[in-house]
Amino acid sequence: MLDIDFPTWVSSHQSSFEDQLQQLLPKPDIAPQRLHAAMRYSVLDGGKRVRPLLAFAAGDLVGADCTRVNIVAAAVELIHAYSLVHDDMPCMDNDVLRRGKPTCHIEYDDATALLVGDSLQSLAFQLLAEHQLNNDAVQQLAMIKLLATASGSRGMAGGQAIDLTSVGSHLSVPELEFMHIHKTGALIRASVLLGAQCGPALGEVELARLDRYGKCVGLAFQVVDDVLDSEADTATLGKTAGKDAKQGKPTYVTLLGVQAAKQMATELHNEAMDALAEFGEPAGRLRDMANFILLRNY
């Protein structure tokens, strides 16, 4: 689909992906209705869908079957949505605004928000287990393991644990990087790899290149997030701006300053582009996505 421009590609995927999520989430009239309504509230009609878009772009690279990529895209978005719901709870980041609307525990209640996160996580793995994603069943199991590792204590949840203990303390740049490679980077990296793994098997070298791309854009995403948190306003972000500094959280901006943080994002972007060099034209959408991640303003 390189014949259409990037903004059209993004909006057409966002719109068809929304329909896909509508179908995959439990209907609000099925018991327990309140939990299902809260799951839908937390997932539907919001967010940039960066992780699904990365999966679609990686799927494009290898010519993967769209039906398969749709499922892995949904799985990573459900994991992401669960992490946001839990992150916003009073026991974690304690926020009231997400994606321009009240957070799940504010709109519903704490217990419901906890169960929404749990249920979204389970649904993500259910989808990966019940749909065919690869012609090779062993490879499909490896994909399920990849998402489990990326979201668990050696990935996103582990990064979140470090984040929670870092409040008010000093982290070095390598320590901050370690935290973000896990908290934000792991799921973004997994999104890229899972999209590509819906297609024909890649060689070891190609997979390593794609992994390097995923690692760089994952970290760049976080560096840009830190810059936006310090520079953008709440209305544009759809979440409370300036919170990190207020909470005494170390960020790339507090450690390096805005200019050096922007420079770091640019260097990561360049490295991501280098990692794609050998793929040529089919990696066009992955390049577009790297540009989007660097240049985004929300």
CB closer to ligand GRG out of 13 and 183: 183
Determine phi and psi for 188, rounding to 5 degrees. Answer: -65, -45
Q: How many CB atoms lie within 10 A of CB 100?
A: 14
Residue 121 engages ligand GRG in binding (rule: CB under 6 A): no
From the list 108, 111, 146, 106, the residue with the least C-alpha distance to 125 is 146
Among the listed ranges 29-37, 52-60, 78-86, 139-147, the one in contact with ligand GRG (CB under 6 A) is 78-86
* Three-state secondary structure call for residue 102: strand
Residue 87 engages ligand GRG in binding (rule: CB under 6 A): yes
Residue 288 engages ligand GRG in binding (rule: CB under 6 A): no
Report the residue from 97, 106, 144, 157 that binds ligand GRG according to the rule CB under 6 A. 157
C-alpha span between 34 and 37 (Å, rounded): 5
What's the burial of 238, exposed, middle or buried (CB within 10 Å: 0-12/13-18/19+)? middle
CB closer to ligand GRG out of 48 and 131: 48
Determine phi and psi for 98, rounding to 5 degrees. Answer: -150, 130
- Which residues ranging from 175 to 204 are in contact with ligand GRG (CB under 6 A)? 183-184
Whole-Å CA distances, 108 to 74, 100, 215: 23, 16, 35
Report the residue from 83, 191, 230, 251 that binds ligand GRG according to the rule CB under 6 A. 83
Report the residue from 14, 40, 94, 99 that binds ligand GRG according to the rule CB under 6 A. 99
CB proximity list for 26: less than 8 A, separation 6 or greater: 36, 39, 40, 123
Residue 250 engages ligand GRG in binding (rule: CB under 6 A): no
Beta bridge partners of 217: none
Among the listed ranges 14-22, 31-39, 127-135, 154-162, the one in contact with ligand GRG (CB under 6 A) is 154-162
Report the residue from 86, 182, 189, 209 that binds ligand GRG according to the rule CB under 6 A. 86
Residue 42 engages ligand GRG in binding (rule: CB under 6 A): no
Report the residue from 35, 53, 64, 84 that binds ligand GRG according to the rule CB under 6 A. 84
Residue 101 engages ligand GRG in binding (rule: CB under 6 A): no
